[in-house]
Chain A
Amino acid sequence: MTSKRVVAPYVLILPSFVLAALIVIWPVNELAQIASHSVNRFGQLRDFVGMANFRALLDDPNFIASLWRTGIWTVAVVGGAVICSVPVALVLNEDFYGRDLARVIVMLPWAVSLTMTAIVWRWALSGESGMLNSALLEFGIIDQNIQWLAEASTAFPMQILIGILVTIPFTVTIILGGLSSIPDDLYEAAALEGAGRWEQFRHITLPLITPFLNIALVLNTIYVFNSFPIIWAMTQGGPANSTDILVTYLYKVGFRLGKLGEASAVSLVMFGILLVFTLIYVRLTTSREVKA
């Protein structure tokens, strides 16, 4: 009986462990193989080349540019999303008419595939027949059509804005979870002491939702850093690689140019960066557990 109890949990987790290890962990090994060999476009290994694929990356100005752009992309989207989400979550946490509807609307971008969102925006941003231009012209905000996606100086900021928009739902969700954990009597006590709204926010709300904000920051950083469809479906990293981030660069190098070795090297670089983010996440969540 006792031996059964000891074995049972392992039997229960085994199928999920095997499946996830096979599909998610095994490819990491494949990546290491490909990255350290010369390889054809179907992934057949030739000679061992050591770090040559990594050196080739460092010599490619597009890789360096994509790396920088990934930094800008991640910081701008995650930062923008968190800054927008705090007030949105605070409002959605109030009791007002139509709150359920407002929540549904704010959450809606989450349900739509990023690919579809990107395709719709690509159409809406089209220079000649796009509805954004016609709406802006109508309201007199612009006086001639803007070719939004024709150059990086307008395309990339637009992609960042769309990235923020689709990141808001998840962030709001996490913050709402945090807000709902704050007992009402804290505010009542503060109000009795004569604390105003802003002081209540600064001294009660903000400190209490900080752990949730941290988690939203780290998880969003991982998601946004990995986010492929928005840029791929809108500009494919173009024009002239000027909106490439690491993931689109990786895809282009691997499947357009057929250089799987260099693409694997990019993957491993990303894997290293993601590992750092994950360690931060683990630190944040476990330090909370200790406190609680």
Chain B
Amino acid sequence: MNSSKLRRSIICWLALSPVVVVTIFPFAVMLISALKPSTEVLTPTWWPSRIAWENFQTMWVATNFGNALKNSLYVSVLATLGSLIVSIPAAYALTRFDFKGREFYRQFLLVTQMLSPIVLVVGLFRLMVSLGLIDSINAVTVVYAAFNIAFSVWMLQSYFATIPLDLEEAAWMEGAGRAKTLVKVFLPLAVPAMVVTAIFTFINAWNEFVIALTLLRSQDSYTLPIQIFSLVSGRYTVEWHHVMAATFAATIPVAIAFAWLQRYLVRGLALGAVK
């Protein structure tokens, strides 16, 4: 019995090996290049002669990493909160009320999901110019929050729908009002869904590129993807060991959070997608 599982495991891993190799490859390139001494970066060998941890220190200063990290955290945290604050009531309304215009609202969300930032970037640019908000990270924050609403409502709603109505009904029977039931019964049960949604929104905002590239104009307001992109675009010499160290430092925390949470995504998205 066990040996058959072992055999199956070997076959499964063999079948997956091409995907695994191609997936791991960029991570290996990133880590190895980040740890090569600066004199060896341009030599096309795989292994460094020694591990140059100091690259991370010099990268931090040379790439202005701290400031970009601060901006990225600011934008991503506030965009996540903003998006959640408006999405939670909307998702609640969609799961617990039957109202006229419900279908319209869902389709409205679908359209906002379909319109990616890149398609709208010229219009957004003009909007922000007319409001005098070019180079404002607060404006970028609001844009991120808005673009994540559809995804957040979708995810939250698919989880909210799994919370049984009985508990709330029991609370109503005992005379608790709708608002009190919401706060005391429903929201505590919904916390896991909110946490998962928040983290995915955070990752989306953390990784966003084209809005930041268009609206942020000065080094001081760059987020991490733009800061790192600015290190490689339009330059004659690129300090690749710094770029790879910065990429690594910007990627790994998010990748770990994602690895831990991806199982919830399978459930949430699959539920939401076919509902």
Interface of A toward B, CB cutoff 8 Å: 5-6, 8-13, 15-17, 19-31, 34, 42-43, 84, 87-88, 91-92, 94-99, 102-117, 119-124, 128-135, 138, 145, 165, 168, 170, 173-174, 176-178, 180-181, 211-212, 215, 219, 222-223, 226, 228-229, 232-233, 236, 247, 250-251, 254-255, 260, 263-264, 267, 270-271, 274-275, 277-278, 281-282, 285, 288-289
Given A27-B123, A97-B9, A120-B26, residue A113 in contact with residue B43 (CB < 8 A):
no
What CA separation (Å) do A267 and B146 show in the bound complex? 19
Assess the B243–A128 pair: CB atoms within 8 A: no
Nearest 10 interchain pairs by C-beta: A177-B270, A27-B123, A113-B207, A111-B258, A23-B146, A43-B126, A30-B123, A12-B93, A226-B116, A9-B97
Given A9-B97, A31-B123, residue A24 in contact with residue B115 (CB < 8 A):
yes
Q: Is the interface of A mostly helix, strand, loop or mixed?
A: helix
* Most interface-central of B102, B110, B121, B265 (chain A CB within 10 A): B121
Assess the A98–B228 pair: CB atoms within 8 A: no
What CA separation (Å) do A244 and B22 show in the bound complex? 25
Assess the B97–A8 pair: CB atoms within 8 A: yes
Given A20-B146, A97-B6, residue A107 in contact with residue B123 (CB < 8 A):
no
Q: Which of chain B's residues have a CB closer than 8 A to the CB of A131?
A: 28-29, 32-33, 44, 46
What CA separation (Å) do A247 and B253 show in the bound complex? 30
What CA separation (Å) do A116 and B72 show in the bound complex? 14
Q: Is B172 an interface residue (CB 8 A)?
A: no
Which of A16, A119, A260 lies in contact with B247, CB distance below 8 A? A119
Assess the B26–A250 pair: CB atoms within 8 A: no
Q: Which of chain B's residues have a CB closer than 8 A to the CB of A168?
A: 19
What CA separation (Å) do A260 and B273 show in the bound complex? 36
Which of A97, A264, A274 lies in contact with B114, CB distance below 8 A? A274
Q: Which of chain A's residues have a CB closer than 8 A to the CB of B90?
A: 12-13, 15-17
Q: Is B1 an interface residue (CB 8 A)?
A: no
Assess the B149–A236 pair: CB atoms within 8 A: no
Q: Which of chain A's residues have a CB closer than 8 A to the CB of B114?
A: 222, 274-275, 277-278
Assess the B44–A278 pair: CB atoms within 8 A: no
Q: Which of chain A's residues have a CB closer than 8 A to the CB of B25?
A: 124, 132
Chain B residue at minimal CB-CB distance from A269? B119
Assess the B19–A228 pair: CB atoms within 8 A: no
Within B32-63, the residues touching A (CB, 8 Å) are 32-33, 41-46
- Cβ proximity bits B134-166 to A, threshold 8 Å, 1 near / 0 not: 000000001101110110010000000000000
Q: Which of chain B's residues have a CB closer than 8 A to the CB of A13?
A: 89-90, 93-94, 105
Interface of B toward A, CB cutoff 8 Å: 5-6, 8-9, 12-13, 15-16, 19-20, 22-30, 32-33, 41-46, 82, 85-87, 89-90, 92-94, 97, 99, 101-102, 105, 107-112, 114-116, 118-127, 129-130, 142-143, 145-147, 149-150, 153, 178, 203, 206-210, 214, 225, 228-229, 232-233, 240, 243-244, 247, 250-251, 254-255, 257-259, 262-263, 265-267, 269-271, 273-275
Assess the A226–B247 pair: CB atoms within 8 A: no
What CA separation (Å) do A168 and B23 show in the bound complex? 10
Assess the B105–A17 pair: CB atoms within 8 A: yes
Chain B residue at minimal CB-CB distance from A268? B119
What CA separation (Å) do A135 and B26 show in the bound complex? 12
- Minimal beta-carbon separation of A260 from chain B (angstroms): 6
Assess the B259–A19 pair: CB atoms within 8 A: no
What CA separation (Å) do A116 and B270 show in the bound complex? 27
Known: A19-B149, A98-B13, A115-B228. 8 other contacts (CB 8 A): A5-B97, A16-B89, A19-B82, A43-B130, A95-B5, A107-B262, A260-B126, A267-B123
Which of B44, B125, B259 lies in contact with A129, CB distance below 8 A? B44
Which of A96, A260, A278 lies in contact with B111, CB distance below 8 A? A278
- Minimal beta-carbon separation of B134 from chain A (angstroms): 9
- Minimal beta-carbon separation of A214 from chain B (angstroms): 10
17 CB contacts below 8 A, A to B, read: A8-B178, A10-B99, A13-B94, A15-B89, A27-B122, A97-B9, A99-B12, A102-B12, A111-B259, A112-B255, A113-B208, A226-B116, A254-B121, A260-B126, A274-B114, A274-B115, A281-B110
Given A27-B124, A104-B262, A264-B122, residue A177 in contact with residue B269 (CB < 8 A):
yes
Q: Which of chain B's residues have a CB closer than 8 A to the CB of A215?
A: 273-274
Given A9-B99, A94-B12, A215-B273, residue A34 in contact with residue B126 (CB < 8 A):
yes
Which of A24, A88, A264 lies in contact with B19, CB distance below 8 A? A88
Q: Which of chain A's residues have a CB closer than 8 A to the CB of B22?
A: 165
Assess the B16–A102 pair: CB atoms within 8 A: yes
Chain A residue at minimal CB-CB distance from B208? A113
Q: Which of chain B's residues have a CB closer than 8 A to the CB of A21?
A: 108
Given A34-B122, A129-B41, residue A28 in contact with residue B108 (CB < 8 A):
no
What CA separation (Å) do A84 and B127 show in the bound complex? 41
* Most interface-central of B92, B94, B262 (chain A CB within 10 A): B262
Q: Which of chain B's residues have a CB closer than 8 A to the CB of A105?
A: 20, 23-24
- Minimal beta-carbon separation of A145 from chain B (angstroms): 8
Which of A30, A174, A263 lies in contact with B270, CB distance below 8 A? A174
Q: Which of chain A's residues have a CB closer than 8 A to the CB of B119?
A: 226, 247, 267, 270-271, 274
